[in-house]
Homo-oligomer: A and B are copies of this chain.
Amino acid sequence: MPENLDCGIPYTLIFPDINLKDKKVLIQLPDGLKQFSLVIANCIRERYNAEPIIHMENIYGACDLQYNQIFSILNPDIIIHIGHSEYPNYLSPSSLPDNIRNRVVFVKALSKIDVDEALVLRALEILNNYNVKNISIALTAQHTHLYNKISNIILDKKYNIIESKALYPYYEPGQIIGCDFRPVLDKKIDGYIFLGGGEFHPLGLYLATLKPIAQIDLYSNSVRDFTPIGTKYYKKRLFSISKAIEANHWGVIIGLKTGQYRPSILNIIIKMLSKKQYVLLSSENINEINLRSVDNDWYDAFIITSCPRIPIDDLIDYEKPVLSPGEAYMALTGKIDKYMFPW
């Protein structure tokens, strides 16, 4: 039986049915939950008599389990990965091999903050400005248990709900992650109510759909129209793509994070570059500092073949175009009428 663990933090941790007794466990947390890392470690130690190690490294998702180095060096019995759901194997073949999968526990962290009806009504007002009738609900992992409550409020107000597609076993209804929006992609959808904080998830949802988004942020107890923010980023991306159309010399960056290696996409990109010149680059971490360290006059543009969020979230202001594979496809084929994201 799954077990709900209340460690006295603003999240309920849902442990699957697995024996952790006396185990050496390595605890991975998203940055937003690391402030509770010590409390969670002590809580796991007391409940399961397990021996915890807190993983301090930035973990950007379930695509970033870092299991090679962790098992090679520390060899814990179990990695307890909190706050991200399992990464879909259709996104990367190297995401989670079977022999690793049975040593990783994915623990849901559900926020204890409830959603107030007034926030949903304000979100509906925003969508009303865009004449939205058919609504989809999108949520980040820590709010998925609020799907039904929000759905009922919307239905009460005579809007249509386009139901989320179940993608068992990876996602709860309506759940999105930064690079996968399939549960809430449907031509019938006019707009979204998105539940979650920050810009990261709603920006991805906007770029994947280009549809109106009303964002409810329970941490700041606020509602905003995310559409103009998304539009601003979208225009910046189109500008980068248009600059890259003339590029002849490309740097193709292969990301080495566990679940971000996508050889089929890499091969497509390399085939498309047959009439250009390109150099292969590799890195587990990809950022402005290490890109700049290898960049020189020869390079006109870069493609990051791993995480499609890195060009958009981390390198959007780099002085040369740094594109995701879908964006590179647009630049290399000249087909810039349809924005391709994520890819």
A267 at the interface (CB under 8 A from B): no
Q: In the complex, which of the residues B56, B253, B256, B258 contacts A294, with contact meaning CB atoms closer than 8 Å? A: B56
Tell me if B293 and A31 are in contact (CB < 8 A).
yes
Tell me if B34 and A294 are in contact (CB < 8 A).
yes
Instruction: Name which of A41, A281, A296 has the most chain B CB atoms within 10 A of its CB.
Output: A281
Smallest beta-carbon distance A50→chain B, Å: 12
Q: Within 8 Å CB of A74, what residues of B?
A: 254, 256, 261, 282
Smallest beta-carbon distance A182→chain B, Å: 25
Smallest beta-carbon distance A81→chain B, Å: 14
Q: Within 8 Å CB of A52, what residues of B?
A: 280
Smallest beta-carbon distance A73→chain B, Å: 5
Q: Sort chain A's interface into a size bin.
A: 35 or more
A94 at the interface (CB under 8 A from B): yes
Q: A261 to B75, alpha carbons, bound, how many Å?
A: 12
Tell me if B58 and A290 are in contact (CB < 8 A).
yes
A70 at the interface (CB under 8 A from B): yes
Nearest to A290 among chain B residues (CB) is B56
Tell me if A57 and B285 are in contact (CB < 8 A).
yes
Tell me if A56 and B253 are in contact (CB < 8 A).
yes
Question: Which A residues, 234 to 286, have Cβ-Cβ distances below 8 Å to chain B?
Answer: 253-254, 256, 258, 261, 279-286
Smallest beta-carbon distance A132→chain B, Å: 38
Nearest to A24 among chain B residues (CB) is B280
Instruction: Name which of A70, A282, A298 has the most chain B CB atoms within 10 A of its CB.
Output: A282
Q: A312 to B194, alpha carbons, bound, how many Å?
A: 45
Q: Within 8 Å CB of A73, what residues of B?
A: 94, 254, 256, 258, 261
A328 at the interface (CB under 8 A from B): no
Nearest to A299 among chain B residues (CB) is B38
How many copies of this protein are present in the complex?
2
Q: A68 to B258, alpha carbons, bound, how many Å?
A: 11
A118 at the interface (CB under 8 A from B): no
Q: A69 to B258, alpha carbons, bound, how many Å?
A: 8
Tell me if B293 and A53 are in contact (CB < 8 A).
no
A18 at the interface (CB under 8 A from B): no
Q: Within 8 Å CB of A290, what residues of B?
A: 56-58
Tell me if B284 and A69 are in contact (CB < 8 A).
yes
Per-residue B-contact encoding for A144-177, CB less than 8 Å = 1, 0 else:
0000000000000000000000000000000000
Tell me if B66 and A72 are in contact (CB < 8 A).
no
Q: A35 to B289, alpha carbons, bound, how many Å?
A: 12
A122 at the interface (CB under 8 A from B): no
Nearest to A58 among chain B residues (CB) is B290
Q: Within 8 Å CB of A70, what residues of B?
A: 256, 282
Q: A53 to B252, alpha carbons, bound, how many Å?
A: 10
Nearest to A36 among chain B residues (CB) is B296
Asked, given contacts A38-B294, A256-B70, whether A282 binds B94 with beta carbons under 8 Å apart, the answer is no
Smallest beta-carbon distance A70→chain B, Å: 7
Smallest beta-carbon distance A190→chain B, Å: 39
Q: A35 to B282, alpha carbons, bound, how many Å?
A: 15
Smallest beta-carbon distance A7→chain B, Å: 14
Smallest beta-carbon distance A94→chain B, Å: 6
8 contacts between A and B (CB under 8 A): A34-B294, A41-B279, A56-B253, A56-B294, A57-B284, A70-B256, A73-B254, A73-B258
